Amino acid sequence: MNTRRTKTQIYVDILRSVQRSRGRLKKTHIVYKANLTHSRLEEYLDFLLSKEFLVEEKNSKQIFYAITEKGSRFLGEINKLKEISEAFGVPL
């Protein structure tokens, strides 16, 4: 059985890990909570920041990533989109 996560599943995992940690998280924590390498996380973070699902928050020397309202809405809607694509046999 293929257990490789799809791109979208990884976006969801990142957003969920941030959401569950009071809405903001440091990059290192996202790496282990979403089970990714640093290099792969960069590529996914770029997408989530460009889509405004996450925003960077600078606090003295540390950088946090916080989930936006758009990101929370996306998490709510993703299940619906996943069900549609699965019903057509072309999983998201």
Partner 1 sequence: MHIIIPVWFYGFDSAMYFVSSIVGFLLSFYFYKIYSLSSDKKHSYLYLGFLLLSIGLLSLAITDLYSYIAFSNCHASCILGIIDDVFSLEDFAYLAYFGLSLMAYILFILAYGSESPKFSKGMLLFFVLYVILIAKFVPISGECNVWESYHGYFHLTSLIMLIFVSFRNVANYFEKKSLNSLLVMNAFIFISLFHVFHLFVFISGWMYVFAHISMLIGFSSLLLMVLRLKK
Tokens 């969920």 belong to 16
Least distance (Å) between residue 33 CB and partner 1? 21
What are the tokens at 75?
């998490």
Least distance (Å) between residue 2 CB and partner 1? 12
Burial 17-48 (b: 16+ CB within 10 A, else e): bbbebeebbeeeebbebbebeeeebeebbeeb
Return the residues of window 5-34 that contact partner 1 according to CB under 8 A. Answer: 6-8, 11
**90 scored as a contact of partner 1 (CB under 8 A):** yes
Least distance (Å) between residue 68 CB and partner 1? 16
What are the tokens at 61?
């020397």
**86 scored as a contact of partner 1 (CB under 8 A):** yes
Which residues of this protein are in contact with partner 1, per CB under 8 A? 6-8, 11, 77-78, 80-81, 83-90, 92
